[in-house]
Structures are given as structure tokens and as C-alpha cells.
Structure 1
Amino acid sequence: MGQTNSRVEPATSAKASPVPHTVPVAEDHSSKPAKCPIDHNPAPKLAECPVDHSSLSPLNQMPTLSQEPAQNQSVRLPTNRTESSIPRDQGLKWEYPSPQQFYNALVRKGWETPEEHVETMVEIHNFLNEEAWEEVLKWERRRNPDDDIQLARFMGKPGQLSPKARLYMFAGWLLPSRFNTEPPFDRHDWIIRRPKTGEEVRYVIDYYSAPPEPDGSPVFSLDVRPAIDNFGSVKDRIAVATEEVWASIRENNKKPPSQ
């Protein structure tokens, strides 16, 4: 639980797609150095999530993005928004930005993005967030199997490395053959609400790029875990880490000894 790797296969082929944003769980930072799948030249700082989370609506915590075509835009993009599976409140669910809104966010960030790739980017952006929510639910079901968890609000923090990401980078410096030294290309903080108790819990999500599949399909990795803000989250983190260690030991014991 926590680290999730998968190849991305949306309805539209994602091969060689310049996608900014991640699925079964596998802790693996020993592969080739991760890098943001968008080629920004020059790119002196960490790539940022193209959706500007700093201007969220106080009503729905979503950015206010224009549906009008950007200046010099040559390809007409859909303006329909997709409803997610992620509950918000009062029976409502979060909606993802439309391709046009997504493109406008990219333009505002100053990214030069081929317009024909935007719809694929939106599909993968949505896919990764759905997978992130599934990882959150895995954590929450350990303690609240019958509670209908809600995503109360969220914030993108692409320029702020989490303590765990810093630890992995330090480990990569010490043991480069086993760990990556590249930082995650994005980070989100999600605040979930437990309706039965009204308690709110912060989750941290680090987004990594992994080496692509042999056919060129992009692969991403999610590291999802509750932030260490309270004793309950600390207890959950320790319990899951212990389970993963014992599972690894049992798996190694099943392997026949080398000749």
C-alpha cells in the first residue's frame, strides 16, 4: 500500500504522450531515474501540475478555468467535463477540467503543448487521480470499512518536496544503484473527511515517472500515504510498513535456495 506502479492505457493511445501526471502496489525506486514526461526546454525547476490549484473556488475547491479558446489556438477542444468517482459532499462528486480548461491552464503556465495531445493528457490526468483515490480508500478501509469517505479539498504542491521524497533522494545519493535520485514531478495534498466522525485527515501523494514499457507506453508511480499529522496516521503508517516487511520476508522464504 502506498507505492503504485502501472502502465497507462487510456482509450486514446498514450505512447510518447507529453503527460504531466499515476497502479497494483509495488515499492520500487530502483529503476532508472524518474523524470517528468513533459519535455520542457529549458526546465530549470520541477515541473508543475498544469491545473493552477492556487486559485480554487471557495465553493468546490476547483480552479476557475476558462472554457474559451486560447489566443492563437488552432484546434478546437471539447468543453465537456467528466465526473469523477470521488465523493465531495451532499451526494456530489468532483468534476475534472475539460480539455479546453486543461489547455488554458497549460497556456497560462507558459507551457508549449501540442494541442492534439491535450485530450490524451486529460485522460491520463483523470486516470491517475482515480488511482490515487483508490489508494486512499485502501488506507481508509483498514480503519473505516463502512464509512463513505469524501475528498473535502486538495492542493497541488509541485515545488514542495515531501519528507519521504527527500528521504528517497538522500537514499539515492547514498545508494544510487538501489534508489532514484530524481524527485517526484508533482505532489498533491488531499484532505479527506470521515463523515461518521467529521474527522479530516491529510494525505500526501507523490507522482513519479518510471521507465516506459518496451512498446513506449508511459509508466507512472504513485506514493500515497496519510501525512504524519496525528497519532492515528502514525499508527497506520507503522502497521502498513510492518505488514509489507513481513510479506517481503515470507515471499523470499518461498524462493528455492540458489544452487
Structure 2
Amino acid sequence: MSGCPVDHGERKGDAGGCPADHGQSLRAFAGQPPAMNPHNNMPLTPEQHGNNGLSTERTVSSIPRADRYEAAGPSECPAVDNAKEMWVYPSEQMFFNAMRRKNWDPQAPDMKTVVPIHNTVNEECWRQILEWEKRHASACGTPKLLRFEGKAKQMTPKARLRSLVGYQPPFDRHDWTVDRCGTRVTYVIDFYEGRRDPSNPHKPSFFLDVRPALTAAGAWDRVCRFFGS
């Protein structure tokens, strides 16, 4: 799951309300890299092809999208009713294709386990971000996720300090940019392996360290939470 390899962006059961991207298909046929979404560095057109029996059904998240077609190229269609749209999780087939494209050697049977875990972890990320956003509820009661970026190879200062004193380093890092009713704020998320349940040692466990990026405003939010204000 490291790096969140798939595009969550299209709506369930459609291609985002836009006409088909025939250029994307031609690029794939010619073996060229697909056109990428600047919000998550993933293909603009969902990769749902495959003959391995994986599901192409997608699950709508609880995470609202912001400015869906911002920074879109001239071939993009305009945004349609953005305020009512949510980010949509990848299908099993999309997740498999994305992992294979990144040379992660995925196994098709694993997708039935990996995809639900991926979705649950992202829901928890958003839940924790909303806890931070409560301090700003009077200014914005409807924060939305604008973009996310995987930075697994860029350890945060906090994670680096923890590892220096003997703690296990995180296995992944994401930066999520939130639209706070016109103000953009970034949250940093370190992903750690959690303690396993002795009664179910095969069940994955995760610990998420979610906090505002270390800007002046983010630092103030951290101080206020530390002192319970």
C-alpha cells in the first residue's frame, strides 16, 4: 500500500463525467506513459483492464473532493457539481494494475484483502484530520481534500528523531492538502506498523501520526492541541 499507488479520483461507475480519453488509450497501445493527474500523480483514466477475475467495482469514500479539475489540461471537461462529489477508492483491478505498473509484483488474490485495508486506513486519516480541523470549524465547517502525495522516501523530522532514539521508522508517508474554504493547509501523515493482536496475529495493525505540516499556522495548531486549547 506504500505510496498509495492508485487514483481515487473518478466517480463510481463513470469516467468522471468526461468523454473518453482516446489519447490515453493510444498512449497505452503505443507503450507510452499515461497522462497523469497533477493532484495525485496517477493516470487520468482509470486502469480497469485485466483478465484475472478481479472486481472493477469502486467504493465511494467519506472524503469530499475540492476543486476537482483545478490545473486540468485543455482536454479536460469542466467540473460538474464539485460540492457533492467524494473521492472514490480504487477497484481491486485498478489497485492490481497500479502496483504492477510500479513493479511491486502484486498477487491477484491478495487484492481482496489489500484494498479494504487501504480504504480503512485512508478513512482513519481523514477522521484524524477532521479532529484537527475542529479548531477552525467557525471559519470553515466543510474542509475538503484537494490532493495527496506519497513521500515514502522522505522521512519527516519527527520520524527521523524517533528513529534515532530507537523507535521503528514509518513504512510510508503522505502529505494531504486540504481546502479549508479557500485556505490551503497541508497535513503530514506517518504510517507505522501497530501492535498485533495476539489472538489474531495475521490481522494487520497500523498507527497513524497525523498532524499539520510545520508551518507557522501548523505549529500554532500543534501547540494549541498540546495544551488542550
Q: 1:56 to 1:189 in 2, by over 3 A?
A: farther
Q: Does 1:77 align with 2:39?
A: no
- The answer for the alignment partner of 1:35 in structure 2 is none
Distance across 2 between alignment mates of 1:156 and 1:61: 8
The alignment covers a number of residue pairs equal to 182
AA aligned opposite 2:47: S
> Could you list the per-position Cα deviations for residues 12-40 of structure 1 after superposition, in whole angstroms to 9, with x for gaps in the alignment?
xxxxxxxx3xxxxxxxxxxxxxxxxxxxx
What is the TM-score of this pair, normalised by structure 1?
0.65
Change (3 A) 1:104 1:50: farther
> For residue 176 of structure 2, what is the aligned residue in structure 1?
190
Q: Which amino acid aligns with 2:37?
A: S
Matched residue SS, 2:154? coil
Which of 231, 236, 247 is the aligned partner of 2:221? 236
Aligned to 1:207: 191
Match of 1:57 in 2: 37
Question: Which of 35, 47, 64 is matched with 1:66 structurally?
Answer: 47
Corresponding residue for 1:115? Answer: 108
SS across alignment from 1:243: coil
DSSP-derived class of the 1:225 partner: strand
* 8 Å Cα contact 1:52-1:63 kept in structure 2: yes
- How far apart, CA to CA, are the structure 2 residues paired with 1:56 and 1:200? 22
The CA deviation string for residues 81-136 of structure 1, in whole angstroms up to 9 with x for no partner, is: 21111011322111111110100111122223331110211101011000000000
Distance 2:208 2:156 in 1: 13
Residues 6 and 94, structure 2, Cα contact 8 Å, conserved in 1: no
Contact 2:6 2:90 in 1 (8 A): no
Q: Does 1:227 align with 2:181?
A: no
- Identity over the aligned pairs, expressed in percent? 41
**2:209 aligned counterpart, secondary structure:** strand
More displaced stretch, 107-116 vs 91-100: 107-116
- Distance in 1 between the 2:196 and 2:119 partners? 19
CA contact (8 A) 2:176 2:188 kept: yes
Unaligned runs of 5+ in 2: 8-34, 67-81
State the shift of 1:238 in Å: 1.1
Tell me which amino acid in the other structure corresponds to 1:131.
E
Change (3 A) 1:167 1:209: same
**More deviation in 234-243 or 134-143?**
234-243
Unaligned runs of 5+ in 1: 1-19, 21-47, 173-179, 245-259
Secondary structure, counterpart of 1:161 in structure 2: coil
Normalising to structure 2: TM-score of the pair?
0.73
Output the CA distance in 2 between the equivalents of 1:193 and 1:81: 24
SS at match of 2:100: helix
State the distance in 2 between where 1:163 and 1:56 align: 30
The question of whether the paired residues in 2 share the 8 Å contact of 1:154 and 1:190 is answered with yes
Counterpart among 136, 142, 147 of residue 148 in structure 1 = 142
RMSD: 2.2
